[in-house]
């Protein structure tokens, strides 16, 4: 069981009726529900201690004490990346290096926190065509793939295509096939400092992606994988 904070920009859902129809309580609420859902043979009681935070909360809902108590932070943002304060980005980066897990979702590839931790533009190609995506498990032994079949099919979604301007992942778990002819590294694992980072592509706001059973399972697996372990001391500075 981990202390999980789900961060959502939470603007589309309040501004756009189509999005509100898909995610009436916000994307964060649907993700919270997914993480709490032990329907996939998990019978170990309440899975996680979950809280949510959004852009328009004070300090974006991420004051120091919240991050201090967070084991794994999930991040969904899209249209207002620039409104996230540098102070919060600094704080998230520091906590990741100390060991906090970070799961970056979909358009969060362009978030300040992800770009800060990757050191690259995190750019990609895209097309909002509502076509089919099939996410292939390319690393069947990875715990984030636990309980999946050989691929996940999403009937209607936005396309993301290569090149994806990120460092070569430590491990690549999923690669997406798109109906329109593109591919994308859609499940990428990184370690930065003592923290585990997972980028997971699915999640456009106009489609009920986070209702998909396999996507929900990946979210649960990713939180488990990203939960900090004990480790050894990170001691820096002058030595005697």
Among the residue ranges 18-26, 51-59, 75-83, 167-175, the one whose residues contact a copy of itself (CB under 8 A): 167-175
CB 158, min distance to a copy of itself, A: 11
Q: Is 143 a binder of a copy of itself (CB under 8 A)?
A: yes
Using the rule CB under 8 A, which residue among 83, 162, 211, 213 binds a copy of itself?
162
- Which value, in Å, is the radius of gyration of the alpha carbons in the chain? 17
Q: Which of 36, 59, 79, 146 binds a copy of itself (CB under 8 A)?
A: 146
Whether the CA torsion 201, 204, 208, 210 is positive or negative: it is: positive
Scanning 11-19, 51-59, 174-182, 199-207 for contacts with a copy of itself by CB under 8 A, the matching segment is: 174-182
Question: Cis (ω within 30 of 0) for the bond into 163?
Answer: yes
Bridge-based pairing state of the strands 125-137 and 101-105? unpaired
Q: Which is nearer to a copy of itself, 38 or 167 (CB)?
A: 167
SS3 of 217, please?
helix
Strands (E), 138-182: 151-161, 171-178
Q: E strands along 138-222, which residues? A: 151-161, 171-178, 183-192, 195-200
The CA distances from residue 10 to 75, 81, 162, 165, 228, in Å, are: 11, 12, 27, 26, 27
Residue 84 in tokens: 């996230």
Q: Which of 61, 99, 108, 187 binds a copy of itself (CB under 8 A)?
A: 99
Closest distance to a copy of itself from the beta carbon of 192 (Å): 6
Residue 42 within binding range of a copy of itself, rule CB under 8 A: no
Q: Is 7 in the site for a copy of itself (CB under 8 A)?
A: no
For a copy of itself, which is the closer residue by CB, 69 or 125?
125
Which residue, 32 or 145, has its beta carbon nearer to a copy of itself?
Answer: 145
Residue 118: strand, helix, or coil:
helix
- Sign (positive/negative) of CA torsion 150, 141, 214, 120? negative
Does residue 88 contact residue 53 with C-beta atoms inside 8 Å?
Answer: no
238 binds a copy of itself (CB under 8 A): yes
Q: Which of 13, 47, 71, 182 binds a copy of itself (CB under 8 A)?
A: 182
107 binds a copy of itself (CB under 8 A): no
Which residue of 79, 161, 206, 208 would you call a contact of a copy of itself, by CB under 8 A? 161
The DSSP call for residue 67 is H
Which positions lie near a copy of itself, rule CB under 8 A? 93, 97, 99, 116-121, 123-127, 134, 136-143, 145-150, 159, 161-165, 167-168, 170-172, 175-178, 181-183, 185, 190-196, 228-240
């Amino acid at each position: 069981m981990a202390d999980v904070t789900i961060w959502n920009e939470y603007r589309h859902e309040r501004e756009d009726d189509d999005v509100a129809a898909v995610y009436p309580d916000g994307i964060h609420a649907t993700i919270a529900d997914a993480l709490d859902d032990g329907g996939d043979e998990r019978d170990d009681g309440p899975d996680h201690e979950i809280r949510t935070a959004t852009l328009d909360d004070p300090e974006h809902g991420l004051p120091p004490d919240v991050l201090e108590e967070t084991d794994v932070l999930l991040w969904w943002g899209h249209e207002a990346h620039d409104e996230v304060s540098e102070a919060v980005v600094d704080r998230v980066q520091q906590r990741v290096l100390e060991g906090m897990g970070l799961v970056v979702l979909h358009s969060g590839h362009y978030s300040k926190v992800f770009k800060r931790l990757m050191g690259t533009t995190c750019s990609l190609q895209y097309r909002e065509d509502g076509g089919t995506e099939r996410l292939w498990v390319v690393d069947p032994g990875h715990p984030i793939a636990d309980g999946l079949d050989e691929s996940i099919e999403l009937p209607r979604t936005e396309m993301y295509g290569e090149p994806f301007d990120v460092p070569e992942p430590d491990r690549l778990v999923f690669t997406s096939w798109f109906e329109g002819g593109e591919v994308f590294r859609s499940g990428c694992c990184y370690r930065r400092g003592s923290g585990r980072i997972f980028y997971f592509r699915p999640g456009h706001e106009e489609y009920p992606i986070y209702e998909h059973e396999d996507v929900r399972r990946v979210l649960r697996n990713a939180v488990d994988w990203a939960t900090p372990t004990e480790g050894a001391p990170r001691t820096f500075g002058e030595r005697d």
